[in-house]
Structure 1
Amino acid sequence: MFQNLDWLPDNFVISDAVLSLIANSVILIVVVMVLRALTARFILRTVQSPELRGRWLVNSRNGFLLLMLLGLVMIWGEELRTLALSIVAIAVAFVVATKELILCITGSILKSGSRSFVLGDRIQVKDLRGDVIDQTLLATTILEVGPGKHLHQRTGRRIVIPNALFVSEPVVNESFTTHYDFHVFTVPFKREDNWQLAQAALLESANRHCQPYLELVRRYMSKIGNQRGLMMPTVEPRVTLQVPVAGEIHLTVRLPVKVGERNFIEQNILNEVFSQNDFSPESRRKQAAATATSANASAD
């Protein structure tokens, strides 16, 4: 069995203390792996919600990994302290070489401590936007949503974000609430278009789509505001004007929606408004002429 160990020096001896540490390390790893397997089996059997089950599986995996690392540090702590003075130069070189990995671990600690997001949240970091499906010490995995920041459909691509990015870049969490949320989209028009009619049509359509659950949203937002000490905005749909450049008018629609239905509601409103109305300059002139005729008839 040991015929292939002839290359070892004749004076090569492993002390009993080192053998004890190795044995303790092996036992710790085996115990943690068994506990992780039992915990995963228990979660798969008892948790019915797919979202909650996935979150618990990821959290338990990361927790057992951290437990194993802490245990190994405690087992080898004395030897590490003994070698500390002799490996200072190596440690410095190691830190320089693994700077990105250290930043990833730091970013993981930062996002966990600040509770920036959890599994299932929709986040945006720089130009990366999607739903969080996995988290580890080094990276966060999302399913891309887009393209761009105004669409809410999945593209089918998986993006792995290094946690180092969370140290230097702000994180936009689009899942501040869990049941209802505000959705904002912009519809551009030229100055000569009949944007007044479009404003009224968008507001009417938004009110009609939100009417079934508007009172529920009002109570829900009031509850969230009381819990977090925030002054929540009014939940009624609104259409506001913006003039980003000369010759253009943008209508910004803000309305409450159910979480997960942003794109559905937006497409329904746009299809309804543009299929039933004409916003061309000719329609604006016809509307103005009809208004003037009606005013003259009233004066007579």
Structure 2
Amino acid sequence: MQAPSLPRGDTAALEIHLPGVLERWRDAYLQDLSEKLIVFLVLALLFYVLARLARQVISRNIEDVNRRHILRKSIGYGYAVLLVLTVVALFADALAGLGTLVAVVLAGVAIALQDILKSVVGWMYISTRSGVQVGSRIEVEGVIGDVIDIGVLKTTMLEVGNLVYGRQSTGRLVTIPNSRMVSSSVFLSAAYNPFVWQEIQAVVTFESDWQRAEAILREISSEMHAEIAPELERGFKKLERRFAFKYGTITPIVYASVADHGVALTLRFLTHVRRRRGSVDRVTRRMLAAFADDPEVELAYPTYRVYRLGEEVPGRGGAAALYQPHDLAHSPPDAMHAHPEMLADGDVVIPPPPPADR
């Protein structure tokens, strides 16, 4: 069966007019594309100018650093979204014919850039309900810091407590891919409630009035607690609304236990996560001053008690045991001093010196 063919005259006419038709179609297509490109560039420039003006207004009128940063970042994201919507609206007809090609290209890009896509997903998670925000103190994979920026691909933190003693800033910036925020454990502070528990231990001698020392610690911590009580209550109520959480005792507590060299008093109190070192310093200074002014309280430290042979050892019911060297006759004169005997609890018995030669 032969395919239908045009008459010779029609074929000749088609050969004559087809190049002109294709040329006019190409010119119309290029003109339409050029007009759309010009419209896109004009709109992009307009959006850019508006975004810069909005950022300048925010910088001049917003005092809060965190809020200002979030608003400026939001404007940047909004600018990018407007550009994408403009491209889709202007070039939808052209993109419709390339649907299959675009799908194949996107699949290849997704495989090649899977780490980047994971970071983008992590950014979406962080930006919604994760609790991580600018100003939060977090710990991820052993790195502790204060969040100062949350980008699409990475989160930037100001490092805390690595090069310096105490939980204070080192001055270094640390960047963590957002994908780690989803796949790793994140320790979060200062987002819903900026207060954490802090403990300080003081050991007083067994002869001290440890109850008096306990009262001093309670007085110091109670005064500090009164200064932050309203903010504490607001923070814990915020936790209750967000999680299945019920706060219990938030007032300072003093625990007592027996240590090797005295009575250990452990003060447990709440403090702001960024003021931990200052709070410890404040409590310690006041505690040392109060203990120094109280004759009934004395700080303890590891000690040794030394007794000479023949002296009464308190609590042992008699004189200290005699030191008996293996061979006194052939031992040097100071042999008994060279080998003192150790008793329990750090007591040392030193034998008396040998009699002088006559």
TM-score (normalised: structure 2): 0.60
* Counterpart contact for 1:139–1:161, Cα < 8 Å: yes
* Counterpart contact for 2:202–2:299, Cα < 8 Å: no
> Could you say if the C-alpha distance between residues 47 and 250 of structure 1 is closer, same or farther in structure 2, counting changes exceeding 3 Å?
same
Q: Which residue of 30, 37, 42 maps to 1:22?
A: 37
Whole-Å separation in 2 of the counterparts to 1:28 and 1:85: 29
* Counterpart contact for 2:199–2:268, Cα < 8 Å: yes
Whichever residue aligns with residue 161 of structure 2, its letter is G
1:72 paired residue number: 87
Q: Which residue of 200, 210, 217 maps to 2:224?
A: 210
* Counterpart contact for 1:184–1:252, Cα < 8 Å: no
> Could you say if the C-alpha distance between residues 251 and 89 of structure 1 is closer, same or farther in structure 2, counting changes exceeding 3 Å?
farther
Is residue 231 from structure 1 mapped to residue 246 from structure 2 by the alignment? Answer: yes
Is residue 129 from structure 1 mapped to residue 150 from structure 2 by the alignment? Answer: no
1:3 paired residue number: none
1:262 paired residue number: 276
Whichever residue aligns with residue 255 of structure 1, its letter is F
> Could you say if the C-alpha distance between residues 63 and 254 of structure 1 is closer, same or farther in structure 2, counting changes exceeding 3 Å?
farther
Q: Which residue of 169, 178, 181 maps to 2:195?
A: 181
> Could you say if the C-alpha distance between residues 165 and 238 of structure 1 is closer, same or farther in structure 2, counting changes exceeding 3 Å?
same
> Could you say if the C-alpha distance between residues 50 and 225 of structure 1 is closer, same or farther in structure 2, counting changes exceeding 3 Å?
closer
Q: Which residue of 301, 314, 334 maps to 1:280?
A: 301
Whichever residue aligns with residue 267 of structure 1, its letter is D
Q: Which runs of 5+ in 1 are unaligned?
A: 1-11, 243-248, 284-288, 290-300
Is residue 166 from structure 1 mapped to residue 181 from structure 2 by the alignment? Answer: yes
The Cα of 1:265 is off from its aligned counterpart by 0.2
Deviations 1:247-288, CA, capped at 9 Å, x for gaps: xx99875422246322210233345556855332449xxxxx
**Over aligned residue pairs, what C-alpha RMSD do you find?**
4.2
Pairs within 5 Å for 1:6-155? 15-147=30-162, 151-155=166-170
* Counterpart contact for 1:139–1:162, Cα < 8 Å: yes
The Cα of 1:98 is off from its aligned counterpart by 1.2
Q: Which residue of 164, 172, 181 maps to 1:157?
A: 172
Instruction: Report the more deviating stretch, 109-118 or 30-39.
Output: 109-118
Instruction: Report the more deviating stretch, 109-118 or 50-59.
Output: 50-59
* Counterpart contact for 2:40–2:87, Cα < 8 Å: yes
Whole-Å separation in 1 of the counterparts to 2:216 and 2:153: 45
Q: Which of the pair is proportionally richer in helix? A: 1
Whichever residue aligns with residue 280 of structure 1, its letter is Y
Q: Rg bigger for which structure?
A: 2
> Could you say if the C-alpha distance between residues 217 and 235 of structure 1 is closer, same or farther in structure 2, counting changes exceeding 3 Å?
farther
> Could you say if the C-alpha distance between residues 90 and 65 of structure 1 is closer, same or farther in structure 2, counting changes exceeding 3 Å?
closer
Higher relative contact order (CA 8 A, sep 6+): 1
Q: Which runs of 5+ in 2 are unaligned?
A: 1-25, 258-262, 292-297, 305-313, 315-358
Aligned sequence identity (%): 21
> Could you say if the C-alpha distance between residues 212 and 126 of structure 1 is closer, same or farther in structure 2, counting changes exceeding 3 Å?
same
Whole-Å separation in 2 of the counterparts to 1:117 and 1:65: 23
Whichever residue aligns with residue 300 of structure 2, its letter is F
> Could you say if the C-alpha distance between residues 238 and 81 of structure 1 is closer, same or farther in structure 2, counting changes exceeding 3 Å?
farther
